[in-house]
Chain A
Amino acid sequence: MAQDNKATTRACKPFEEDLVLYYYGELGGGERAAVEVHLPGCQSCQLYLKELESILPLTVKPDEPPQAFWDDYSREMRRKLAEASERRSWWQSLAEFLRPWAIPASATAFVALLALTLTFGKRFWSSKEIPQDDVAVVEILPMAENLEFFKTMEVLDAMDLLENIGGPAKGST
């Protein structure tokens, strides 16, 4: 068994990468022509190319499974897809909801809802509060009731006065 670092054939430096591409049929027009002009006169590049031709096919390990393998493959795949489909049905709706467009849309809807709530809700909440003008009325109301009381008292005083006027007259008699 030789070592990994065994010296290999060296191609001319400017052609080395092109020779790999040439081997794979990936060199276009001008570059391909340049390699084909160079090769006949360069033994090291010829050896390099031959080495590629002998080594690279060794790395391919062909595998042709029998038909039974493919039948099993398809059967297993159908089962796995059916299972995935079941799982997909419930989380797909969630995943779709979390798609990029849904997040800004939800955020916009939330902000709009918040704005509407603050706009219309303020009226509702503020109606429960007593306005500044109403505070004065509320404060005056008991006074007004007292005023009525005092008015009543005035009438009573007047009646007492009348009684007093009539009283001494009776008493004097």
Chain B
Amino acid sequence: MISFMEGSPLVKSADEELVSLARSGDHKAFEELVERHKQKAYRIAFDFARDREEAKDLSQEAFLRAYTHLGNFDGRSGFYTWFYRILVNICLDYKRRKQRTSAEEFNESIEHQVEPSQVSQKPPSPDQQVLAGQLSRKVSAALAALPPKQRTAFILKNNQGLSIREIAAMMQTAEGTVKVHLHRAVTALRRSLADFA
């Protein structure tokens, strides 16, 4: 489980120190922030895009936007809460754009992104391949069908393991609202994926 919140004051203060340096023109300090957060950022973007290259572009776009808008960071929340809010918004915008394109084209790209290391040593049988393809398409379609707030709450909880409090801070909403979004998302996904239970 990844913890993004103010659990570690040392990490928080170190991030803020780097932000302060970056604001005064030290772009090396911002590069250090990128190094610290790039993997978490990429994984969140991947959960939304489910495509390696898209996830890379989206997470990099989020870093660039954070860099050019550092002046807007007021320090009331941790850098990562502020940054991941930017990232989630970029991912949601991407999903809106993506919905205009063909779902088939989208799913084909996912299947080609599977890492050899992720595949079991024994080659899957044709039946397993068909089932995996069906599942992948079904999951993508079910996630894409969720309203943006439900999808965000679900991905941040289910895939990233953030706490409800962290998600609420990131989505700038009440914890109770996040719980409602999460419950609705789970209910919709259960209905869509019941065949694979």
CB distance from B23 to the nearest CB of A (A): 10
Q: Report B-chain residues with C-beta under 8 Å of the C-beta of A65.
A: 42, 52, 115
Asked if residues B52 and A63 are in contact (CB atoms below 8 Å), the reply is yes
Q: B115, B139, B163: which contacts A63 (Cβ < 8 A)?
A: B115
Q: Tell whether, in the assembled complex, residue A20 and residue B34 are in contact, meaning their CB atoms are under 8 Å apart.
A: no
Interface hit among A36-44, A70-78, A113-121: A70-78
CB proximity to A under 8 Å, residues B161-197 = 163-164, 179-180, 182-183, 186, 189-197
Contact between chains at B159 and A73 (CB < 8 Å):
no
Are A59 and B38 within 8 A (Cβ)? no
In the bound complex, residues from chain B placing their C-beta under 8 Å from that of A68 are: none
Q: Of the candidates A17, A77, A82, which one forms a contact with B60 in the assembled complex, judged by CB atoms under 8 Å apart?
A: A77
Which chain B residues lie closer than 8 Å to A59 at the CB level? 139, 142-143, 154, 158-159, 189, 193
List the B residue with the shortest CB-CB distance to A81: B27
Residue of A nearest to B192 (CB): A4
**Are A77's CB and B63's CB within 8 A?**
yes
The reply to whether the CB of B71 lies closer than 8 angstroms to some CB of chain A is yes
In contact, B191 and A8 (Cβ under 8 angstroms): yes
Known contacts A59-B193, A61-B50, A74 near B35 by CB under 8 Å: yes
Contact A76 B60 (CB under 8 A): yes
Q: Knowing A74-B35, A77-B60 are in contact, say whether A64-B115 is a contact too (CB < 8 A).
A: yes
Is the CB–CB distance between B193 and A55 below 8 Å? yes
Task: Name the A residues within 8 Å of B157 (CB-CB).
Answer: 24
Q: Judge if B101 is at the interface, Cβ distance under 8 Å.
A: no
Q: What is the 8 Å Cβ interface bit string for chain B, positions 29-73, against chain A (1 contact, 0 not)?
A: 011001100110011001100101001100010011001100100
- Residue in A closest to B117 when the chains form the complex, CB atoms: A64
Cβ contact within 8 Å between A2 and B139: no
Listed in ascending order, the chain A residues whose CB lies under 8 Å from chain B are 1-2, 4-8, 16-17, 20-21, 24, 26, 51-52, 54-56, 58-66, 69-70, 73-74, 76-78, 80-82, 84-85, 88, 95-96, 99
